[in-house]
Amino acid sequence: MSTQHNQFDRRDSALLKEQRGEASYTARKRDTLLSFQLTYWYLKMPVVRALSKVAKKALLAPVCGCQVSAVAVRHVSFSPRQVTSASDASFHSVSFSETDHPKVLITGGLGQLGVGLAKLLRKRFGKNNVILSDIRKPPTHVFHSGPFIYSDILDYKNLREIVVNNRITWLVHYSALLSAVGEANVPLARAVNITGLHNILDIAAEHGLRLFVPSTIGAFGPTSPRNPTPDLCVQRPRTIYGVSKVHAELMGEYYHHRYGLDFRCLRYPGIISADSQPGGGTTDYAVQIFHDAVKTGKFECNLKPDTRLPMMYIDDCLRATLEVMEAPVETLSMRTYNINAMSFTPDELAQEVQKQLPDLQVTYNIDPVRQAIADSWPMNFDDSNARNDWSWKHDYDLPELVQTMLNFIGSDSQVAQAS
């Protein structure tokens, strides 16, 4: 009997364990299903996600003179694309305040400014914290100077993967077609300068990035005050490049007010640099003159000798970009600033170069397209807001610019001849 009772006890015990196992499995299945349903409901309800931000602000806002001292609310991030089509949900990437240094992505990195800015930022934040990107194959020295990746700004998925996989916190958007090149291919300029910008804005808003987009003297038109041109005035540009830059300024400001995007923008004057070839811009004569003066002693200018435009040496430009990106948000009274260093004509520049190279011969063969563009642009920039808000100050005036350019290009020419 004892043996039989033991057998029944074992059977009862096994049956009880089986029943408990089924109950446990059922509970786990129910919990999993509930979790899936809640997740699905959350992803398909962008309004609720938007309201979560409003609720957070309401909880933190002062009521009757009192303010909640601490509220544990997880900040939910969403981009405009997610609001319209809530296919997925994303949370903020690690912000700058949570890391020792920002992690920077530079688009259009092989243009006139990208390589120089990457060099400056790598000195400041470390080599591996600055990623240069472009659709072209980089020169050997650029490839070995720090991280470089392929990036097409018209490929939204590719951009998003780069930002997520590399934990990007700052994005510098240099991809664009310049003025004269853009006029020769308006559809391409529209795609790169406008559609590409939309991708950048959405990704920056979604992932809580600090975004820098440069603007230009080309963002103004013939009805703008020209000497000097203030930060806020009529803007009616006559080129697709200028139109796209006004669009970028306004879209960035809209995203700042609508989605809280940390958008920062500088209107660059004509930028002069020795280590890059002219890239199709209207102000490129001010770079070409130095190359031709050193190599051939002859220069043909495509603008009238009295065409006055604001200009800046590249070192000042790159430093201004870093300074505005590092500026505390409370010091910025606006999202887009003029910056300036000097203003000169082709004739004034030629005379300054001839002080160093007296045999330089200068002739003029006016390009009507570029001349019309230049005639619609500012003659001088008023950058008093940048100087007052975040202490902008340029280092290079015209004599320093000319001496620096000739020294740089002259030394390169001597090296080339020796080799």
Taking 60 as the threshold, does the pLDDT of residue 18 lie above it?
no
Average pLDDT on 194-206 reads 98
Q: Which two tokens stand for residue 355?
A: 């002080």
Q: Identify the band that residue 82 occupies on the pLDDT scale cut at 50, 70 and 90.
A: low
pLDDT for position 25: 46
Burial pattern 355-375, b for ≥16 Cβ within 10 A else e, equals eeeeebebeeeeeeebeebbe
pLDDT above 90 for 132: yes
Rounded to 5 degrees, φ, ψ at 336 are -130, 125
Stretch 192-201: mean pLDDT: 98
Share of the chain above pLDDT 90, in %: 70
- Residue 267 predicted with pLDDT over 50: yes
Q: Is 392 helix (H, G, I), strand (E, B) or coil?
A: coil
The pLDDT value recorded for residue 265 is 99
pTM: 0.77
Residue 50: is its pLDDT beyond 70? Answer: no
Q: Beta strands of 231-329 (E only): which ranges? A: 262-268, 270-272, 298-301, 309-313
The pLDDT of residue 263 is above 50: yes
pLDDT digits (tens, 9 = 90+) for 215-225: 999 999 999 99
- From CA 208, how far away is CA 88, in angstroms rounded? 16
Select the more confidently predicted residue: 348 or 11: 348
Return the pLDDT at 381: 97
* Averaged confidence pLDDT in the chain: 83
The candidate with the shortest Cα–Cα distance to 249, out of 266, 233, 227, 262, is: 266
What number is the average pLDDT over the span 318-343?
A: 98
Nearest to 206 by CA among 47, 92, 68: 92
Q: CA–CA separation, 181 vs 280, rounded Å?
A: 6
> Which pLDDT belongs to residue 79?
56
Q: What is the mean pLDDT of residues 323-338?
A: 98
Residue tagged 């809209």 (tokens): 254
Q: How confident is the model at residue 280 (pLDDT cuts 50, 70, 90)?
A: low
Catalytic residues: 241
Q: What is the DSSP letter of 148?
A: E
Picking from 97, 83, 404, 85, the residue whose alpha carbon sits closest to that of residue 272 is 404
Strand 309-313 and strand 342-344: the pairing is: antiparallel
Report the SS3 class of residue 204: helix
Which pLDDT value is given to residue 413? 59
Tokens of 215: 């603007």
Per residue in 339-382, pLDDT tens? 999 999 999 999 999 999 999 999 999 999 899 999 999 999 99
Residue 55 has pLDDT above 80, yes or no: no
| C-beta separation of 196 from 133 below 8 A | no
Residue 279: pLDDT above 50?
yes
Going by C-beta distance under 8 Å and a sequence separation of 6 or more, which residues neighbour residue 376? 220, 221, 222, 237, 238
Between 10 and 289, whose confidence is greater? 289
pLDDT at res. 221: 95
Which of the four pLDDT bands, split at 50, 70 and 90, describes residue 417? low
Residue with tokens 């031709």: 292
Rg (CA), the chain: 29
The whole-number pLDDT of residue 178 equals 86
CATH architecture of 176-418: 3-Layer(aba) Sandwich (3.40)
- Phi, psi for 25 (deg, rounded to 5): -65, -40
Region 335-342: mean pLDDT is 98
Q: In whole angstroms, how far apart are CA 295 and each of 298, 343, 352?
A: 8, 26, 17
Q: Which pLDDT does position 99 carry in this prediction?
A: 52
Domains of the chain, residue spans: 1-45, 176-418
